[in-house]
C-alpha cells in the first residue's frame, strides 16, 4: 500500500490528470498485491459507477451552459449586474461578484466558472485601472459560488453517492451561497473605501428598466430550475432538461443570437466536457471500491472517532482535513472516495446529511483556491497571466472571508437546513 501511496503523490505532483492518477494507482496496487483476479472486476466497477439516472443532470446542465453562452444569455446577465452595481465605488469588482452569483445557478462548476470569467472580467477590470492581481483574485474567489449556489455538480455527485435528495441539496446551498457572495461584497466595499477607488456614472431609471426587461428571459432559466424543484414540478434531472429547452428558446427566439450552425459545436463541447467528468467519476468509483475492499474507510472512521466524541471538535477536524484534501484532489473524486467513509459517522455525532453535504462541498471548493497547490489558483493564474505568488497574496483576504463563512455554516446548521425543512 505504501508504494501505491507514493505513486499517487508523485503523479499528483507531476500534474497528471486526476482521473488517470486514480486508475493507474488502482491497477498498480492490484499488481503489487498479487490479486490479479481483481483486474477482471475493474471494468465492471468502472461502468457500475456510472449507472445512475441522476448523473444525467450533469451533462444536461453543461449543455444548458453551452447554449446560454452561445445564445447571448451569459453576456446579458453580466450586463445586468453592471447596471445594478457598476456605479458603486469599486463597481466592476461588485459586477464580478454579482455576475458570478447569477452564473453560478447555470454553470455549477468552480473551475469552469473561474476559467470563463477570467477571460472576460480580468481584462475589463484592468482596463478600468484595477490591479491585475486583485482582478484575478476577485474572479477566482467569486468562482467558489459555482459549486454552492444550485445547480451544482458537487451537490449532484454528493446526492448520488450518499443517497441524499439532490433537490434538498440544491435548496440547502442557496443561503450559504448568498452568505458567501455578500461577504465578498462587504470585503470589496472595505477595500474600495481603503484604496479610494473611483466610481462610474449611475444608470438612469430608464436604463435600469430597459436592462431589466431585456434580461428577464435570461433570468427565467435559473428561476425555472429552482421553482420547479421547490414546487415538485420536476426532479433535478428533469429540471436540467427543462433548462436546456428554455435556454434554447431564449437564445433562438428572444435574443436571436443562437444559430443552428452553432449547434454541432455546442454538442461537441458538451460531449468533451461530459466525457472528462464521466471518466473521472468512473475512475474514482474504482478507486473507492479498492479502498473499501481493503477496509481503509472503516479503519479511518474508527481512528477519527478515537480522537474525540465532541461533535463540535469533530466538525473542526473535519474542516481542516477537507481543506487539505480539496487542495490536492478534484472535488468529484474526493466526494466519491470520502463520502462512504464519513456517512456512517454522521449518526454517531448527530450531524444532518444535508448539513454535512454543504460542509464537504464548500470545503472542497475553498480548497481549490488554497495555496500552494489549489487547482483553481493555477487556472486563474494561467488564464489571467498573473504570477502565482502575486495571485496568492491578492486572494488571501477572500480566503479568510471564505473560511469565516465556512465556520458559520458549520456551526449554525440552520443556515443550511432551514430552507429544505421549510419547503418540505
List CB contacts of 305: < 8 A, sequence separation 6 or more.
345, 348
Query: Are 180 and 200 spatial neighbours (Cβ–Cβ below 8 Å)?
Result: no
Question: What are the residue boundaries of the structural domains of the chain, listed by start?
Answer: 42-423
Low-confidence ranges of the chain (pLDDT < 50): none
Q: Taking Cα atoms as reference points, which of 177, 178, 170 lies closest to residue 150?
A: 170
Query: Are 365 and 113 spatial neighbours (Cβ–Cβ below 8 Å)?
Result: no
Spell out the alpha helix ranges (H) of 196-330: 205-231, 236-249, 263-293, 296-307, 311-328
Query: Are 92 and 125 spatial neighbours (Cβ–Cβ below 8 Å)?
Result: yes
Residue whose grid cell is 473551475: 111
Q: How many CA atoms lie within 13 A of 17 on its CB side?
A: 10
Would you state the pLDDT for residue 107?
67
| Contacts of the segment 83-86: beta carbons below 8 A, 24+ positions apart | 83/203, 83/207, 83/208, 83/211, 83/212, 84/208, 86/200, 86/203
Q: Is the peptide bond before 333 cis (omega within 30 degrees of 0)?
A: no
Rounded-to-integer distance, Cα 261 and Cα 62, Å: 19
Would you state the pLDDT for residue 372?
67
- Its sign, for the CA torsion 111, 168, 359, 81, is positive
Q: Taking Cα atoms as reference points, which of 101, 96, 166, 171 lies closest to residue 130?
A: 96
User: Can you read off the three cell numbers belonging to residue 115?
Assistant: 476559467
List CB contacts of 129: < 8 A, sequence separation 6 or more.
198
Would you state the pLDDT for residue 252?
86
Using only C-alpha atoms, the chain has a radius of gyration, in whole angstroms, of: 22
Amino acid at each position: 500500500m505504501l508504494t501505491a501511496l507514493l505513486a499517487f503523490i508523485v503523479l499528483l505532483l507531476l500534474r497528471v490528470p486526476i482521473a488517470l492518477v486514480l486508475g493507474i494507482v488502482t491497477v498498480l496496487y492490484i499488481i503489487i498485491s498479487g490479486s490479479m483476479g481483481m483486474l477482471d472486476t475493474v471494468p465492471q466497477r468502472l461502468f457500475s459507477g456510472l449507472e445512475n439516472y441522476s448523473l444525467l443532470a450533469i451533462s444536461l446542465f453543461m449543455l444548458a451552459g453551452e447554449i446560454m453562452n452561445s445564445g447571448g444569455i451569459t453576456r446579458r446577465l453580466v450586463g445586468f449586474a453592471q447596471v445594478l452595481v457598476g456605479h458603486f465605488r469599486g463597481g466592476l469588482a461588485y459586477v464580478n461578484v454579482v455576475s458570478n452569483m447569477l452564473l453560478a445557478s447555470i454553470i455549477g462548476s468552480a473551475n469552469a466558472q473561474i476559467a470563463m470569467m477570467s477571460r472576460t472580467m480580468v481584462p475589463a477590470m484592468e482596463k478600468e485601472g484595477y490591479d491585475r492581481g486583485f482582478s484575478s483574485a476577485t474572479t477566482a474567489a467569486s468562482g467558489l459560488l459555482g459549486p454552492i449556489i444550485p445547480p451544482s455538480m458537487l451537490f449532484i455527485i454528493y446526492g448520488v453517492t450518499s443517497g441524499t435528495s439532490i433537490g434538498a441539496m440544491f435548496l440547502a446551498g442557496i443561503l450559504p451561497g448568498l452568505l458567501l457572495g455578500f461577504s465578498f461584497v462587504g470585503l470589496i466595499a472595505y477595500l474600495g473605501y481603503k484604496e479610494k477607488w473611483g466610481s462610474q456614472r449611475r444608470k438612469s431609471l430608464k436604463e435600469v428598466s430597459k436592462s431589466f426587461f431585456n434580461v428577464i428571459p435570461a433570468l427565467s432559466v435559473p428561476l425555472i430550475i429552482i421553482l420547479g424543484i421547490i414546487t415538485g414540478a420536476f426532479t433535478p434531472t428533469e429540471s436540467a432538461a427543462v433548462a436546456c429547452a428554455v435556454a434554447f428558446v431564449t437564445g433562438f427566439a428572444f435574443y436571436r443570437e443562437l444559430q443552428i450552425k452553432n449547434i454541432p459545436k455546442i454538442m461537441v463541447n458538451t460531449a468533451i466536457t461530459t466525457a472528462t467528468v464521466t471518466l473521472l467519476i468512473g475512475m474514482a468509483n474504482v478507486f473507492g471500491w479498492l479502498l473499501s475492499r481493503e477496509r481503509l474507510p472503516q479503519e479511518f472512521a474508527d481512528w477519527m472517532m478515537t480522537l474525540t466524541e465532541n461533535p463540535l471538535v469533530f466538525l473542526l477536524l473535519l474542516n481542516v482535513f477537507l481543506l487539505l484534501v480539496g487542495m490536492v484532489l478534484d472535488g468529484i473524486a474526493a466526494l466519491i472516495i470520502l463520502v462512504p467513509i464519513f456517512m456512517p459517522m454522521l449518526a454517531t455525532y448527530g450531524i444532518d446529511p444535508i448539513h454535512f453535504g454543504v460542509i464537504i462541498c464548500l470545503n472542497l471548493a475553498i480548497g481549490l483556491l488554497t495555496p500552494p497547490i489549489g487547482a483553481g489558483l493555477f487556472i486563474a493564474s494561467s488564464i489571467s497571466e498573473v504570477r502565482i505568488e502575486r495571485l496568492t497574496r491578492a486572494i488571501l483576504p477572500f480566503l479568510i472571508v471564505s473560511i469565516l463563512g465556512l465556520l458559520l455554516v458549520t456551526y449554525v446548521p440552520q443556515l443550511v437546513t432551514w430552507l429544505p425543512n421549510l419547503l418540505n
